[in-house]
Amino acid sequence: MLDQNQRPSPISPTIDLDARGVQHGFLRLPHSRDDSAWGSVMIPIAMIRNGSGPTALLTGGNHGDEYEGPLALYELARTLDPADVSGTVIIVPALNYPAFRAGTRTSPIDKGNMNRSFPGAPDGTVTQKIADYVQRHLLPRADIVLDFHSGGRTLDFVPFCAAHILPDKAQEARAFAAVEAFAAPYSVKMLEIDAVGMFDTAVEEMGKVFVTTELGGGGTARAETVRIARKGVMNVLRHTGIVAGAVERTPTSWLDMPDGDCFSFAEDDGMIETIVDLGERVQRGVVVARIHGTGRTGIAPIEIKAKMDGILAARHFPGLVKAGDCAAVVAVPQG
Amino acid sequence: MLDQNQRPSPISPTIDLDARGVQHGFLRLPHSRDDSAWGSVMIPIAMIRNGSGPTALLTGGNHGDEYEGPLALYELARTLDPADVSGTVIIVPALNYPAFRAGTRTSPIDKGNMNRSFPGAPDGTVTQKIADYVQRHLLPRADIVLDFHSGGRTLDFVPFCAAHILPDKAQEARAFAAVEAFAAPYSVKMLEIDAVGMFDTAVEEMGKVFVTTELGGGGTARAETVRIARKGVMNVLRHTGIVAGAVERTPTSWLDMPDGDCFSFAEDDGMIETIVDLGERVQRGVVVARIHGTGRTGIAPIEIKAKMDGILAARHFPGLVKAGDCAAVVAVPQG
Amino acid sequence: MLDQNQRPSPISPTIDLDARGVQHGFLRLPHSRDDSAWGSVMIPIAMIRNGSGPTALLTGGNHGDEYEGPLALYELARTLDPADVSGTVIIVPALNYPAFRAGTRTSPIDKGNMNRSFPGAPDGTVTQKIADYVQRHLLPRADIVLDFHSGGRTLDFVPFCAAHILPDKAQEARAFAAVEAFAAPYSVKMLEIDAVGMFDTAVEEMGKVFVTTELGGGGTARAETVRIARKGVMNVLRHTGIVAGAVERTPTSWLDMPDGDCFSFAEDDGMIETIVDLGERVQRGVVVARIHGTGRTGIAPIEIKAKMDGILAARHFPGLVKAGDCAAVVAVPQG
Amino acid sequence: MLDQNQRPSPISPTIDLDARGVQHGFLRLPHSRDDSAWGSVMIPIAMIRNGSGPTALLTGGNHGDEYEGPLALYELARTLDPADVSGTVIIVPALNYPAFRAGTRTSPIDKGNMNRSFPGAPDGTVTQKIADYVQRHLLPRADIVLDFHSGGRTLDFVPFCAAHILPDKAQEARAFAAVEAFAAPYSVKMLEIDAVGMFDTAVEEMGKVFVTTELGGGGTARAETVRIARKGVMNVLRHTGIVAGAVERTPTSWLDMPDGDCFSFAEDDGMIETIVDLGERVQRGVVVARIHGTGRTGIAPIEIKAKMDGILAARHFPGLVKAGDCAAVVAVPQG
Amino acid sequence: MLDQNQRPSPISPTIDLDARGVQHGFLRLPHSRDDSAWGSVMIPIAMIRNGSGPTALLTGGNHGDEYEGPLALYELARTLDPADVSGTVIIVPALNYPAFRAGTRTSPIDKGNMNRSFPGAPDGTVTQKIADYVQRHLLPRADIVLDFHSGGRTLDFVPFCAAHILPDKAQEARAFAAVEAFAAPYSVKMLEIDAVGMFDTAVEEMGKVFVTTELGGGGTARAETVRIARKGVMNVLRHTGIVAGAVERTPTSWLDMPDGDCFSFAEDDGMIETIVDLGERVQRGVVVARIHGTGRTGIAPIEIKAKMDGILAARHFPGLVKAGDCAAVVAVPQG
Amino acid sequence: MLDQNQRPSPISPTIDLDARGVQHGFLRLPHSRDDSAWGSVMIPIAMIRNGSGPTALLTGGNHGDEYEGPLALYELARTLDPADVSGTVIIVPALNYPAFRAGTRTSPIDKGNMNRSFPGAPDGTVTQKIADYVQRHLLPRADIVLDFHSGGRTLDFVPFCAAHILPDKAQEARAFAAVEAFAAPYSVKMLEIDAVGMFDTAVEEMGKVFVTTELGGGGTARAETVRIARKGVMNVLRHTGIVAGAVERTPTSWLDMPDGDCFSFAEDDGMIETIVDLGERVQRGVVVARIHGTGRTGIAPIEIKAKMDGILAARHFPGLVKAGDCAAVVAVPQG
A296 interfaces chain C, CB cutoff of 8 Å? yes
Nearest to F117 by CA among F96, F89, F91, F93: F96
CB contact under 8 A, F223 and D275: yes
Tell me which residue in E10, E29, E39 faces A325 most closely, judged by beta carbons.
Answer: E39
Q: Identify all chain A residues contacting B77, using CB atoms and an 8 Å cutoff.
A: 297-298
List, in sequence order, every beta strand (DSSP E) within chain A.
12-13, 21-30, 40-50, 55-59, 87-92, 144-147, 155-157, 160-164, 186-190, 209-214, 253-257, 263-265, 270-274, 281-282, 287-292, 302-305, 310-316, 320-321, 326-333
- Asked if residues D72 and D60 have their Cβ atoms less than 8 Å apart, the reply is yes
Helices first, then strands: H and E counts in chain C: 7, 19
pLDDT in tens, F25-46: 999 999 999 999 999 999 999 9
Select from F10, F34, F36 the Cβ nearest to the Cβ of E322. F36
Question: From residue F54, how far is each of F143, F181, F204, F236, F317 by CA, in Å?
Answer: 6, 17, 17, 12, 38
Say yes or no for a CB contact (<8 Å) between F273 and D71.
yes
Closest-CA distance, A167 to chain B, in angstroms, reads 37
Residue E255: pLDDT band with limits 50, 70, 90: very high
Task: State residue D183 phi and psi, 5-degree precision.
Answer: 65, 45
Chains interfacing with C (3 or more CB pairs < 8 Å)? A, B, D, E
The architecture CATH gives domain D258-333: Beta Barrel (2.40)
Distances (CA, A) of B103 to A99, B77, E32: 22, 21, 19
What CATH architecture is E257-333? Answer: Beta Barrel (2.40)
C235, C179 Cβ separation under 8 angstroms: no
Residues 1..60 of D with a Cβ closer than 8 Å to B: which?
Answer: 7, 10, 26, 28-42
Mean pLDDT computed over B257-285:
96
Length of chain C: 335
The pLDDT tens digits for F312-331 are: 999 999 999 999 999 999 99
**By the CB < 8 Å criterion, does F309 face chain B?**
no
- Confidence bin at B160 (pLDDT 50/70/90): very high
DSSP per position, F69-91: HHHHHHHHHHH--GGGBSEEEEE
Asked if D324 lies within 8 A of C42 by C-beta distance, the reply is yes
Mutate to test the interface with D, among F15, F23, F220 (most CBs of D within 10 A): F220
Contact A44 B93 (CB under 8 A): no
Pick one of 2.40.50.100, 3.40.50.2300, 3.40.109.10, 3.30.200.20 as the CATH number of A266-333: 2.40.50.100
From the CA of C290, how many Å to the nearest CA of chain A? 17
Q: To the nearest whole percent, how much of chain D has pLDDT over 70?
A: 98
Cis peptide before F119 (omega within 30 of 0): yes
What is the pLDDT averaged over residues E7-12? 95
User: CA distances (Å), D174 to each of D17, D165, D247, in order?
Assistant: 26, 11, 15
E295 interface with C at CB cutoff 8 Å: yes
Mutate to test the interface with B, among D4, D15, D29, D38 (most CBs of B within 10 A): D38
Bridge pairing between strands C160-164 and C155-157: unpaired
Q: Decide if D154 and C36 are in contact by the 8 Å CB cutoff.
A: yes
Q: Which residues of C touch D1 (CB under 8 A)?
A: none
| Interchain pair B269, F295: CB under 8 A | yes
Q: Which residues of E touch C104 (CB under 8 A)?
A: none
Q: Report how far residue A125's alpha carbon sits from residue A112's, in angstroms, rounded to the nearest whole number.
A: 8
- What is the predicted pLDDT for the residue at B263? 95
B267 contact F CB<8A: yes
Q: Does domain F260-333 have CATH number 1.10.8.80?
A: no
> Nearest residue of C to residue E74 by CA position?
C297
For residue E201, the surrounding DSSP H or E stretch is helix E199-205
The stretch D76-93 carries a mean pLDDT of 98
Confidence at residue E1, expressed as pLDDT on a 0 to 100 scale: 34
State the average pLDDT for chain A. Answer: 96
Average pLDDT over residues B153-164: 98
Which chain B residues touch C116 with a CB distance below 8 Å?
A: 32
* Among candidates C220, C273, C298 on the partner chain, residue whose Cβ is nearest the Cβ of E317: C220
Q: Contacts for A133-138 with beta carbons within 8 Å, 24 or more apart?
A: A133/A9, A133/A11, A133/A27, A133/A29, A134/A92, A134/A95, A134/A199, A134/A202, A135/A202, A136/A5, A136/A9, A137/A9, A137/A11, A137/A17, A138/A57, A138/A90, A138/A92
Q: What is the pLDDT of residue C14?
A: 97
Judging contacts by C-beta atoms under 8 Å, the chain D residues touching residue F13 are none
Q: D274 — contact with chain F (CB < 8 Å)?
A: yes
Q: What is the CA radius of gyration of chain A?
A: 20
The shortest CB-CB distance from E318 to any of C219, C271, C280 is to C219
Task: Kindly indicate the confidence band of residue B45, based on its pLDDT and cuts at 50, 70 and 90.
Answer: very high
Inter-chain touch C324–B10, beta carbons under 8 Å: no
Pair A44, A26: CB distance under 8 Å: yes
* Burial letters A311-331, b for 16+ CB under 10 A, else e: bbbbbbbbbbbbbbbbbbbbb
> Residue A324 in contact with residue A304, Cβ under 8 Å?
no
Chosen for mutation from C95, C158, C297, C302 (greatest number of chain E CBs closer than 10 Å) is C297
- For residue C320, the number of C-alpha atoms closer than 13 Å in the C-beta half-sphere is 18
E318 touching C, CB under 8 A? yes
Instruction: Please state, for a pLDDT cut of 90, what percent of chain E lies above it.
Output: 95
Average pLDDT of span A92-110: 98
d(CA F247, CA F177): 11
| Cα–Cα distance list, D16 to A56, C2, D47, D90 (Å) | 51, 42, 9, 12
Q: Tell whether B293 lies on the interface with F, counting CB pairs under 8 A.
A: no
Portion of chain A with pLDDT greater than 70, in percent = 98
CB E118 within 8 A of CB E199: yes
Look at the alpha carbons of A279, A281, A283, A288 in this order and tell me if their dihedral is positive or negative.
negative
D123 touching B (Cβ < 8 Å): yes
Yes or no, beta carbons of C36 and D151 under 8 Å apart: no
* Distance to chain F for A98, nearest Cα, Å: 12
| CATH classification (class only), B259-333 | mainly beta
**pLDDT(B244) > 70:** yes
What is the tens place of the pLDDT at every residue in B59-114?
999 999 999 999 999 999 999 999 999 999 999 999 999 999 999 999 999 999 99
Residues on chain F touching D274 (C-beta within 8 angstroms):
221-223
Note the pLDDT of residue F2: 39
Compute the nearest-CA separation of D297 from chain F (Å).
6
Alpha-carbon distance of D61 to B57, in angstroms, equals: 47
CB E88 within 8 A of CB E55: yes
- Categorize the per-residue pLDDT at E191 as very low, low, confident or very high, splitting at 50, 70 and 90: confident
Most E CBs within 10 Å: which of A109, A193, A196, as the mutation test of the E interface?
Answer: A196
* Close Cβ partners of F101 (under 8 Å, ≥ 6 residues apart): D294, F64, F94
Check pLDDT > 80 for residue C2: no
Q: Do E39 and A113 touch (CB under 8 A)?
A: no
pLDDT-based confidence at residue D3 (cuts at 50, 70, 90): very low
- Mean pLDDT for C294-323 is 97
**CA distance linking residue B128 with residue B114, whole number of Å:** 8
Nearest to B118 by CA among B101, B102, B133, B99: B133
Q: Read off the amino acid at residue E249.
A: R
pLDDT tier for residue A171 given thresholds of 50, 70 and 90 = very high
The per-residue pLDDT for E4 is 47
Mean pLDDT for E127-154 is 98
Question: φ, ψ for residue E5 (rounded to 5)?
Answer: -70, -15
Q: Which residues contact D227 (CB under 8 A, 6 or more apart)?
A: none
Give me the DSSP letters along E39-52.
-EEEEEEEEEEESS
Q: E-strand spans in E232-275?
A: 253-256, 263-265, 270-274
Confidence of residue C203 (pLDDT cuts 50, 70, 90): very high
SS3 A291: strand
For residue A323, list chain E residues with Cβ-Cβ distance below 8 A.
Answer: 40, 42
CB of E155 within 8 Å of a chain F CB? The answer is: yes
pTM of the model: 0.96
Q: What is the pLDDT of residue D258?
A: 85
Nearest chain C CA: its distance from E185 CA (Å): 17
Structure confidence at residue D2 (pLDDT): 39
pLDDT at position D1 is 34
Question: How far apart are the C-alpha atoms of C274 and E168, rounded to whole Å?
Answer: 41
**Mutating which of D34, D41, D111 best tests the B interface, going by the most B Cβ atoms within 10 A?**
D34
Mean pLDDT on D305-315? 97
- Give the pLDDT of residue E259: 87
Q: What integer pLDDT is reported at residue B2 of this predicted model?
A: 39
* CATH number of the B2-255 domain: 3.40.630.10
Q: Are D267 and D323 in contact (CB under 8 A)?
A: yes
Type of residue found at C106: T
Rounded alpha-carbon distances, angstroms, from residue C191 to B36, C255, C262: 22, 12, 12
A110 class by beta-carbon count within 10 Å (0-12 exposed, 13-18 middle, 19+ buried): middle
Element (H, E) at B274: strand B270-274
Angle, nearest 10°, between helix axes C223-240 and C68-79? 50
Q: What is the pLDDT of residue D30?
A: 97
- C106:B34 CB<8 A: yes
Q: Which of C267, C295, C323 sits opposite A269 (nearest CB)?
A: C295
- Between CA C278 and CA C189 the distance in angstroms is 18
Residue F267: its chain B contacts at CB < 8 A?
295-296
Interval F240-287: pLDDT, tens: 999 999 999 999 999 999 888 999 999 999 999 999 999 999 999 999
Summarize pLDDT for F282-301 with one digit per residue, the tens: 999 999 999 999 999 999 99
Lowest mean pLDDT among B6-10, B161-165, B178-182, F79-83: B6-10
CA distance F67 to F108: 18
Say how many C-beta atoms besides its own lie within 10 A of residue C48's C-beta: 25
C295 part of contact set with chain A, CB < 8 Å:
yes
Indicate the helix (H) or strand (E) that contains F331.
Answer: strand F326-333
Sign of CA dihedral D37, D42, D43, D47: positive
On whether the CB atoms of residues E288 and C87 are closer than 8 A, the answer is no
Do A36 and F104 count as a contact with CB atoms less than 8 A apart? Answer: no
Do C296 and A267 count as a contact with CB atoms less than 8 A apart? Answer: yes
Q: Which long-range contacts (CB under 8 A, 24 or more apart) does F112-120 make?
A: F113/A32, F113/F63, F114/F62, F114/F63, F114/F199, F115/F62, F115/F63, F115/F197, F115/F198, F115/F199, F115/F200, F116/A32, F116/F196, F116/F197, F116/F198, F117/F197, F118/F197, F118/F198, F118/F199, F118/F201, F118/F202, F119/F5, F119/F202
Residue of A nearest to C293 (CA): A268
- Give the residue extent of every domain in chain D: 2-255, 258-333
Q: What percent of chain B has pLDDT over 70?
A: 98
